[in-house]
Amino acid sequence: MNFQQLRAVREATRTGFNLTEVATALHTSQPGISRQIRELEDELGIDIFVRVGKRLTGLTPPGEAVLPIVERLLLESDNLKRVGEDFSAQDEGRLSIAATHSQARYALPMVVRDFRRLEDQPLTGTKCSVLAYEVCG
């Protein structure tokens, strides 16, 4: 079982069981989507979709039970990615400061100096401007 199979099931229900649209949404081929769905059904030992010939026409009762679980798994996968992004980027960010000429010349250099000491890291990517030329040196 893999996330691509779960995405195929979710998208199939979202697109009204149109596998061509599912393939487009997932940037793959229609036969690949059919294979992903069939492999998941084989692994679970159930039919998720009602078929008429080769067309999907709806969800079977087991499919209706599986769909909310698929949705939760994909949602939790997204949440897990966000947590990783939040923690990996917590020391990064952009800080913009708007100040008057007087503040930029007299107050801001001390604040930035103290901030740099607290963070124990140099500020990178700063650009000197007319308002804060003393901050950048």
> Would residue 96 count as lying in a domain?
no
Look at 134 and 98; give whichever has higher pLDDT: 98
- pTM for this structure? 0.63
pLDDT in tens, 11-34: 999 999 999 999 999 999 999 999
Residue 74 has pLDDT above 50, yes or no: yes
Q: For the domain that residue 22 is a member of, what is the CATH number?
A: 1.10.10.10
Q: Quickly list DSSP for 14-71.
A: HTTS-HHHHHHHTTS-HHHHHHHHHHHHHHHTS--EEEETTEEEEE-HHHHHHHHHHH
Residue 137 has pLDDT above 60, yes or no: no
> Would residue 115 count as lying in a domain?
yes
> Would residue 93 count as lying in a domain?
no
Residue 122 is part of which domain span?
101-136
